[in-house]
Amino acid sequence: LLTLTNSLTASITLSDLLFLAGVVPVLLLSFLWQDWWLGPTICTISQAANTTTMFCTFYGMVAMALLCHVAVAWPDAALPSGLGVRLLLCGATWVLGLTALLPNWLLQRVVVEEEAQACLLLLNPAQTSCYFTLLGALAFLPCMMGLGSSFSHLGWLLW
């Protein structure tokens, strides 16, 4: 179990470092200038990296919480912890993070608004509503239900 949580910790750390090295400088530069001057590629990549790192960190923490639940609820359980399992677990957090941001890759553009360029996600109100409904239902709800069940089970065990 320790090797699995250590691998998830390393994955979360890598995600946070990517955020600090790649996303924060672009955000700072975008706030310093009123006009978006970094181009369409940086627009798409920075917004996608921002979302990816958030979701990778979130999914890594959920996986770590569920692993800790297994360790507390079933202390004698022996989980496989080989290199393949660790790569699969960490890879799954990154794949889930990347799939959550697909609209960013497809619809993030530099547009001209009021004589200035801006990096925007081009969704109309109906698409925005649909996107955030799907994001909540598919990206967050299963994790929240899993964590709720986990904590309820731990409460029941301690009762």
Q: What is the pTM (predicted TM-score) of this model?
A: 0.87
**Whole-number mean pLDDT of the chain?**
90
DSSP 8-state code for residue 54: H
DSSP 8-state code for residue 35: S
Instruction: Indicate the SS3 state at residue 147.
Output: helix
Residues 129-144, mean pLDDT to the nearest whole number: 90
pLDDT for the residue numbered 64 = 95
Query: Contact 97/23 with Cβ under 8 angstroms?
Result: no
| 71-108 pLDDT tens trace | 999 988 888 889 999 999 999 999 988 888 787 778 88
| Residue numbers of the domain that contains 29 | 2-158
Domain CATH code at residue 56: 1.20.1070.10
Residues 4-16, mean pLDDT to the nearest whole number: 95
Which candidate, 31, 35, 44, 27, places its Cα nearest to that of 114? 35
Residue 15 has pLDDT above 90, yes or no: yes
Domain count across the chain: 1
Residues 51-76, mean pLDDT to the nearest whole number: 92
